[in-house]
Amino acid sequence: MVDVGEKLQLVRFRISPEAHIKVDKSRCQKCPHQACAYVCPAACYTRADDGEILFAYEGCLECGSCGIVCDQGAIEWNYPRGGYGVSYRFV
């Protein structure tokens, strides 16, 4: 198993006090695919045993994947405020 947390420790973030992506969990409950949980390359979305989608924005790479696959209107995708979020150095 790959530990994404380990990978994310290599990435520099300036974490904003508020989440830049808003998730409406009540819609996630009814979502037939919950694709966010398996497409996110930073594992920001996880599916709990009871089907609830848990979202942690802190390690978000701002890649856009969740915004592309969510067709339930549950994700309000946006950028972090200026100067916050992921900060690549070698990419």
Partner 1 sequence: MKARFDVIVVGAGPAGATAAMILARSGFEVLLLERGKYAGEKNMFGGALFGRVINDLIPNYWEEAPVERYINRKIVTMLSKDSSMSFDFKTEKFAEPPYNGFTVNRSRFDRWYAQKAVEAGALLLNETVVDDLLWEDGRVTGVHTRREQGEVWADVVIAADGAMSLLAEKASLRKRFNPKHFSVGVKEIIQLPKDTIESRFNLAGNEGVSNEFLGGLPGGLQGGGFIYTNKESLSVGVVAQFPSMHPNKVPIYHALAQFKSHPSVRELLKDGVVKEYSAHIIPEGGVEMMPKLYTGGMLVAGDAAGFVLANGLYLEGVNFAIASGVAAAEAVAAAKTKGDYSAATLRKYQQILEEGFVLKDLKEYKHALTFTENSRLHSVYPDLICELAEKLFTVDGTPRTKIIPRALKAIKGKVSWMELFKDGRDAGRTMLW
Which residue, 5 or 25, is less far from partner 1 as judged by CB?
5
* Owner of token pair 């924005």: 57
Q: Please provide residue 46's backbone torsions phi and psi, each rounded to the nearest 5 degrees.
A: -130, 150
Q: Which stretch binds partner 1 (CB under 8 A): 23-31, 50-58, 64-72?
A: 64-72
Q: What is the CA angle 40-46-49, rounded to 5? A: 150
How far apart are alpha carbons 84 and 64 in whole angstroms?
A: 16
Q: Which stretch binds partner 1 (CB under 8 A): 23-31, 50-58, 62-70?
A: 62-70
Which residue, 25 or 71, is less far from partner 1 as judged by CB?
71
One residue of 22, 33, 51, 56 binding partner 1 per CB under 8 A: 33
